[in-house]
Amino acid sequence: MPGIKKELTQLNTFAKKSYGQNFLSNKSKIDKIAEEILNNSTNDIIEIGPGLGAITEPLVNQKRNIICIEKDKVLIENLKNKFKLKKNITLINEDVLKIDFKSISSENSIIVGNLPYNISTKILIKFVNELHENTNKGIFMFQREVADKIIAKKIKKNQLSSKIKIFYEVKEILKVNENDFWPPPKIKSSVLLFTPKKISSNNLNMKELDKFLQCAFFSNRKKIVNNLANKYDKDRIFSILKKLRINDKARPEEINEDILFRIFIMINNNKF
């Protein structure tokens, strides 16, 4: 899109690959993403990687409070200039991976972003690890391949997608094509909505849950019992599966996330 190229040239900069800079140029897709964000009643929005402000602008104009985290110094200066008359925007020039989400979010903040592809999974893990006890929703764009794995019901399911779906309902809300960006990436993208499930996860040991899931998905072709037996007592696993009425021949990808979480809780509950 010439407009984006022109803006970058005027700023004496260029689209940086190392920062995953593919800027959204399709106006109707930008409007759709903004509409999905604005559909949520919350006033507080945190945007990761605002870039040139394509998604930011409609949000700022709707008078929501928006905090933007952008690593690129040139782009943050440009945004400061663009939105200098707006009081409802805070611009932070920082690497999002160094930001403590809890300290900048409120109970109802929604976290959004067309994520830099090279660190999109890291950002998602951070979102889940730091905010899973809260009620914060997320709306993020990922490369299609990653998005498909996250929403997969079977087969492509893995440790990461199961962890996310223990805590969130995940829904694809928009498909985005290569030519909806400038410069166009080599791959398609999808926008996913993450809605927190109401599960009680207070005092949850996330490191133990990670170890459990890593073990459960050690080999997708093996039965879950055999995978888990590498770390936990096999008889105990058999009796937990029996109690939960799970076929003991089931493979990890065949077990729904809520059940997986129950298995984890029961394994760690000494009274069982």
CB 88 within 8 A of CB 64: yes
Q: Which of residues 244-263 bind ligand SAM (CB under 6 A)?
A: none
Q: Which of 44, 46, 50, 139 touches ligand SAM (CB under 6 A)?
A: 50
Q: Does 114 bind ligand SAM (CB under 6 A)?
A: yes
Q: Give the 3-state secondary structure of residue 151.
A: helix
Nearer to ligand SAM, 50 or 138 (CB): 50
**Mutual orientation of helices 257-267 and 159-167 as an angle, nearest 10°?**
90
For ligand SAM, the nearest residue by Cβ is 49
Nearer to ligand SAM, 72 or 257 (CB): 72
Q: Does 126 bind ligand SAM (CB under 6 A)?
A: no
Rounded-to-integer distance, Cα 234 and Cα 229, Å: 5
Q: Does 116 bind ligand SAM (CB under 6 A)?
A: yes
Q: How far is the CB of 20 from ligand SAM (least distance, A)?
A: 5
Per-residue exposure over 129-149, b if at least 16 CB sit within 10 Å of its own CB, e if not:
ebbbeeebbbbbbbbbebbeb
Sign for the pseudo-dihedral over CA of 91, 95, 99, 101:
positive
Q: Which of residues 70-99 bind ligand SAM (CB under 6 A)?
A: 70-72, 75, 95-97
Rounded-to-integer distance, Cα 240 and Cα 249, Å: 13
Q: Does 35 bind ligand SAM (CB under 6 A)?
A: no
Q: Does 55 bind ligand SAM (CB under 6 A)?
A: yes
Q: How far is the CB of 15 from ligand SAM (least distance, A)?
A: 9
Q: Which of 1, 5, 7, 19 touches ligand SAM (CB under 6 A)?
A: 19
Angle formed at CA 147 by CA 192 and CA 199, multiple of 5 degrees: 60
Name 194's bridge partners: 138, 170
Q: How far is the CB of 62 from ligand SAM (least distance, A)?
A: 17
Q: Does 139 bind ligand SAM (CB under 6 A)?
A: no
Rounded-to-integer distance, Cα 163 and Cα 60, Å: 33
Nearer to ligand SAM, 44 or 70 (CB): 70
Interface with ligand SAM by CB under 6 A: which residues? Answer: 19-24, 48-51, 54-55, 69-72, 75, 95-97, 114, 116, 119
